[in-house]
Amino acid sequence: MTDGLGSGREAGSGTRHAVVIGGSIAGLLAARALADHAERVTVVERDRFPKEAEPRAGVPQGRHLHVLLEGGRQALDRLLPGVVDELLADGAPHPGMPEDVVQWQAGGWYRRRAAVVRILTASRPLVEQAIRRRVLADPRVTAVQGTEVVGLTGDAARVRGVLVRERGAGRGGEPRPIGADLVVDASGRGSRASRWLAALGAEPPRTETIDTGLAYATRLYRHDRHGDDTDAAGYFVVPNPRHTYGGVALPVEDGRFLVTLSGLRGQEPPGDGAAFEEFAGRLPHPVLREWLAKAEPVSPVYGFRATANVRHRYDRPGRRPAGFLVTGDALCTFNPIYGQGMAVAALAAVALRDALADRRRTPTTLRVQRALFRASRQAWDISAGADKQMPGAVGDAARPTLLDRPVGWYVARVQRRAGGDPEVDAVFRPVLSLTRPLTALFAPRVARAVLFRPEPEPLEAPPLWRDPAEG
């Protein structure tokens, strides 16, 4: 690695110390990537890490449903070989799609054919604990807990470290510097990097936003009779512009299920338990409401409303210092309903590691930042592209472009056919799982099926039991 990632073409001496702001999944995986290129890495985290797999205050969505998409699973195993097997041994469910999930999307039920991809549906605390255990076992990586970053040191040309203060010390607490050759901001949606850069006389990035106003609520359940009603692992009702309510019930470890219900601005799910279950009656089919009637709630209802797609364009040139990178939700956040966040965190860490290891190009700050941007771009195109179609979407990036209408028309046809056409589904799911590029949807064989084949015959009822004839 060059000395703090020079902004020009010159390569400097090896980086001695890198600081990562934030110890959640994106920060831990960034630290793992940096450990191969720096003598030591320090992770600065506001919280104190729990000893067990428990939610923590710094992850406000930690009690909600998380899925690790196939692309994220592959990236995670590249960074931490064997960690996915460890999660499976700890009880993390690993359902196959479409085989193991009753799915309603694009106005109809998807047929439950053999799995094309798999998702990992462990709780967020379990995933984070497994990653944290592996990353912090590396002697090159140290965590400073209960400490918040309050600013950057250096100037508009180069960042030289961070200013930190013990959490709870209040405004009277004296900040102290931690010097670094490279600083990576992985502090999440609440990142204050723009303010810190402005304080150095540097230029904050332009920000793009698309917000549907979607809100969701989650509750933990047990369902001892689940297997009496279906051989599927769970349910997935995907909202669209005509049917704007969504619902998901998927297994987590210890035989429990997380159930999430969602609605747009003015249609938010309630926080009261009984009303939460009644809200499921707004879904386009009563199957999830009937499932809830037989389940036992084992937690309160937790709400979440910070669901806007927000992207900070650090990849574009500007008067910004060398030695400062941004990743994870601090760089790009997605509507959580699409389940992309953990996967993109892992893909970004792989991109960071690979960009720093590329012997063909000097790893300048802008070049590496662009690699991080590319790692998040497909997830943004999927999430933001879908949310642009939803009623009431607002934000400076919500206005459709000239290409959005024809592409949206085509993708809508893809979704309607994917539920019954195995050839289309075999491409559609890997694209959503971030293992194949979006361009795969427009390959000639797929395009012929999408444009010229008739829509498959719809299922009249949810496929609660897999039909062996489906293959």
CATH of domain 17-66+127-209+308-385: 3.50.50.60
Question: Where in the chain are all domains bearing CATH 3.50.50.60?
Answer: 17-66+127-209+308-385
Distances (CA, A) of 436 to 70, 119, 376, 439, 441: 10, 15, 14, 8, 9
**Side chain identity, residue 195:** R
Provide φ and ψ at 323, rounded to 5°. 80, 20
Question: Where in the chain are all domains bearing CATH 3.30.70.2450?
Answer: 214-304
Q: What is the pLDDT of residues 298-353, one digit of tens each?
A: 999 999 999 999 999 999 999 999 999 999 999 999 999 999 999 999 999 999 99
The pLDDT value recorded for residue 1 is 43
Nearest-CA neighbor of 276 among 218, 316, 327? 218
Protein fold of 214-304: Alpha-Beta Plaits (3.30.70)
Verdict on whether the full-model pTM lies above 0.85:
yes
Distances (CA, A) of 12 to 6, 84, 358, 363, 372: 7, 37, 15, 10, 21
Nearest-CA neighbor of 394 among 307, 267, 270, 283? 307
Tell me the mean pLDDT per 10 residues along the chain, length 471.
44 71 98 96 97 91 96 98 98 97 96 97 97 98 97 97 87 86 96 97 97 97 96 97 97 98 96 96 97 97 96 96 98 96 98 93 93 98 95 94 92 96 97 98 97 94 91 72
The pLDDT value recorded for residue 5 is 60
Measured distance CA(449)–CA(441) in Å, rounded: 10
